[in-house]
A and B are shown apart, each in its own frame.
Chain A
Amino acid sequence: MNLSIDSVMLVLVVTNLLLLGLSQLRSCVHAVAVQGFALGLLPLLVRQSGPTAWTVMVVLVTIGLKGVVFPRLMLGALRDADVRREKRPAVGYTMSMVVGFIALAGAAWLSSRLPVFAGSPSTLAAPVSFFMIFVGLFIIVSRNHAVNQIVGYLVLENGVYVFGVVLLHELPLLVEMGVLLDAFAAVFVMGVAVYHINSEFDHLEVDQLDMLRG
């Protein structure tokens, strides 16, 4: 067992549970920023043979994007839209946390059925990455606010990242950079969309976009 990787995994799980339980949108963005920081450290911890310049660069770019740039974009959107909390989530916060726990148990069961990951440096990596993918999808489905949906997308993407970095540790880092670029483009497009939704509809509740502006 690798204690440092396990601690990072624990931070990821706890931030996910926080995301499910927090109603303040700003706190959600902060939680996802912490998650980005913890996640960014993973490539350094996974490599046994000491960091190369390339690894350090990936770590810096990941932390810079997921820990700083994305959260700042979202906080900016929140400030412009002047909203503080999700008004009517489809699933309540306490219930969301229970769903999160069930998702974690499900992810643990699922990864125990997959013998492929026997050689991974941390036994927690597989369940945690599945768990993050589940939670990301759940946030996208159950929350109405546009910023929360970006958060859900980021969590989903983080889950895929954990999967890649820890389980396939020989993954070419060029691919990682490509994924990061995709994520950046996606968040950028979402930011533009949020801006337009905000200026057209005076709110960011995506389930009410079918109502015409009167």
Chain B
Amino acid sequence: MTLFPVINFLLALLSAPLLLGVINRTKAFFAGRRGQPLLQAYFDLWKLLHKGAVYSRTTTWVFRAGPMVGLACVLVAAAITPFGGSRALMGFSGDLLLLAYLLGLMRFFTVLAALDTGSPFEGMGASREVQFSALAEPALLLGLAAVARITGSFSLSTMFPALSAGVWAQTGPALLLVAAALFVVFLAENARIPVDDPNTHLELTMIHEVMVLDHSGPDFAFILYGAALKLWVLGAFLAGILLPFHTGVGAVDTLVAWLAMLALAVGVGVVESIMARLRLLRVPRLLVGAVLLSGLAFVLLLR
């Protein structure tokens, strides 16, 4: 037993907000601007943590519980996510289902907190979030099921390190499909551009941002940090699939995976720069496409 699961978990906690900075810098580069500092997300979190929170008199305990439950869920999710070819902090057979439901619980409480405010805009955002995630979740689960089928293991901790170049040579097409589906899920779940625009502040077109309009101070810091960690967790799966080479030296693998995460963030920035947001009516088609890709990978592997 080495220390690397602990180191990787701490690395996730520390460098998750950095991904947001990298995405923003990439977008700024495409737009010909200098952009905000790479560490802007950390500054924002620091600032928010030192502010007081304002609670509307119409809200109940659900509104206050939302950010805390969300952060707790995603912290556990990060703890069961393997990174850089080593095991995760925790792991047991079947934890891929736990991962899907942790993300589900996080979303459920964010939605409840949004509905608790009674604001019509937040209700609209909540409705969209639930609709889209209902389509994204089968894609995630089918994709993970396909990887489980390849590696013959139901634990994330043993599934992802088992993917190697040899496995790719045999089941490359299926893994490629899973990676494509997970990338769509990654963009949709993290409210990135083809599905949602993280920059817009027009309530009618937002999904995730509109649900958290009424949170302030430390609560909002929790939400921001939770979103960054979610980006990290889902990104770690993509990196795990697309980077099947492990040297066996923990430090090197961790460094390579960390660089892969930064590259993924650059990729998201590029996607956000060259694509427009899809019309809301067309988003389900994209997500159903992702479900089909995952399902296709699974059907290929059944043979």
Q: Which residues of A contact B (CB under 8 A)?
A: 1, 3, 6-7, 9-10, 13-14, 17, 21, 93-94, 97-98, 100-101, 104-105, 108, 112, 123-124, 127
Contacts and interface: CB of A to CB of B under 8 A. Distances in A.
Contact of B302 (A13, A21, A100, A108): A108
Interface of B: 169-170, 172-173, 176-177, 284-285, 288-289, 292-293, 295-296, 299-300, 302-303
A17 B170 contact: no
Given A101-B296, A105-B299, A6 B285 contact: no
Nearest to B287: A94
A7 B296 contact: no
11 contacts: A6-B173, A7-B172, A9-B173, A10-B177, A14-B293, A17-B292, A21-B289, A93-B285, A98-B292, A101-B292, A101-B295
Given A1-B170, A10-B173, A123-B303, A97 B289 contact: yes
Contact of A7 (B173, B285, B302): B173
Given A1-B170, A3-B169, A10-B177, A104 B296 contact: yes
Given A3-B172, A10-B173, A13-B296, A94 B288 contact: yes
A94 B288 CA distance: 7
A112 B299 CA distance: 12
Top 3 nearest A-B pairs (CB, nearest first) are A10-B173, A94-B285, A94-B288
Contacts of B299: 104-105, 108
Contacts of A21: 285, 288-289
A100 B292 contact: yes
Contacts, number: 45
Contacts of A98: 288, 292
Contacts of B302: 108
Main SS class of interface, A: helix
A10 B289 CA distance: 15
B165 to A, nearest CB: 13
Contacts of A104: 296, 299
A17 B295 contact: no
A167 B289 CA distance: 29
A159 B288 CA distance: 24
A108 B303 contact: yes
A97 B288 contact: yes
Contacts of B176: 10
B173 A97 contact: no
B66 to A, nearest CB: 31
Given A10-B177, A14-B296, A101-B292, 5 more contacts: A98-B288, A104-B296, A108-B303, A124-B300, A127-B303
Contacts of B295: 101
Which of A94, A97, A105, A112 is packed against the most chain B CB atoms within 10 Å?
A: A94
A30 B284 CA distance: 23
A94 B291 CA distance: 11
Nearest to B288: A94
Contacts of B169: 3
Which of A9, A10, A100, A104 is packed against the most chain B CB atoms within 10 Å?
A: A10
Nearest to A98: B288
A6 B61 CA distance: 55
A108 B293 CA distance: 15
Nearest to A123: B303
A97 B294 CA distance: 13
Contacts of A97: 285, 288-289, 292
B303 A124 contact: yes
A93 to B, nearest CB: 6
A13 B300 CA distance: 11
Nearest to A100: B292
Which of B170, B289, B302 is packed against the most chain A CB atoms within 10 Å?
A: B289
Contacts of B303: 108, 112, 123-124, 127
